[in-house]
Amino acid sequence: MNEIYLKSAEFVDSDSEGVKLFTQKIIGTTTDPVEKAVKLYYAVRDGFSYNPYDIDLSPEAMKASSMLTRDHGYCVEKACVLAACARAAGIPSRLGFARVRNHIATEKLEEILKTNVMVFHGYTELFLDGKWVKSTPAFNKSLCEKLNVEPLEFNGKEDSIFQSYSKEGNQFMEYLFDYGNFDDVPRELFISEIKVHYPHLFENHPKSSTHWRGGGDAGLTP
């Protein structure tokens, strides 16, 4: 297992004071790595609401420590936070990214993206009991209830990825493409994929687009 997955990185900044304090608050006196991982997973999943309508792509904003100053984040941010906290707790972590089709996309999000395909959906992989285990802290429990899908549980032993079906048996999330695993957020690749799949988001600010606020003006803005 490569030691790089225990080291602090630019975005997975596990050595930042904010990440270390948050991690210690959540794990307390827990010493078992699996128990630590489970506690951190639920703290990130439900402690920060999923918000894909306010995406800041500037380097500083994409740090795990930055999201900890807010009460919301999108999938890449939440995966990054979980990875950073895991490293701060002594658990090797890495990030995975995939292109997925959301069959139950909210009308607002699909209108903004002009598609139900979501690029660079982020999740976290944790090295526990000698193997990598996938975990997806993106959708908080209250949002899952609103979408009528079961929230993703995580026991630290089995992969926990996006729900395939809603409670009624309708298809929910479909994985289309795997970008692979990374020790840190590949920011440039992330931005280039957004430009390829959602070029209209950059039309108003083609040269310096780093901040996307959905709603009235759904473009990426400086």
Q: What is the largest CA-CA distance in the chain?
A: 50
List pLDDT tens digits, range 6-30.
999 999 999 999 999 999 999 999 9
- Predicted pLDDT at 55: 86
Whether residue 55 lies inside any domain: the answer is: yes
Mean pLDDT throughout 145-152? 84
Backbone angles phi, psi at 95, to 5 degrees: -110, 145
- Predicted pLDDT at 217: 38
Question: For residues 147 and 109, is the Cβ–Cβ distance under 8 A?
Answer: no
List the CATH number of the domain containing 72. Answer: 3.10.620.30
Whether residue 74 lies inside any domain: the answer is: yes
Whether residue 211 lies inside any domain: the answer is: no
Mean pLDDT throughout 97-108? 76
Contacts 24+ apart (CB under 8 A), 16-23: 16/63, 16/64, 16/65, 16/84, 17/65, 18/65, 18/68, 18/69, 19/64, 19/65, 19/68, 19/81, 19/84, 19/85, 19/88, 20/88, 22/68, 22/85, 23/85, 23/88, 23/89
Helix axes 33-47, 17-27, angle to 10 degrees: 110
Tally the domains of the chain. Answer: 1
Whether residue 124 lies inside any domain: the answer is: yes
Whether residue 170 lies inside any domain: the answer is: yes
Whether residue 145 lies inside any domain: the answer is: yes
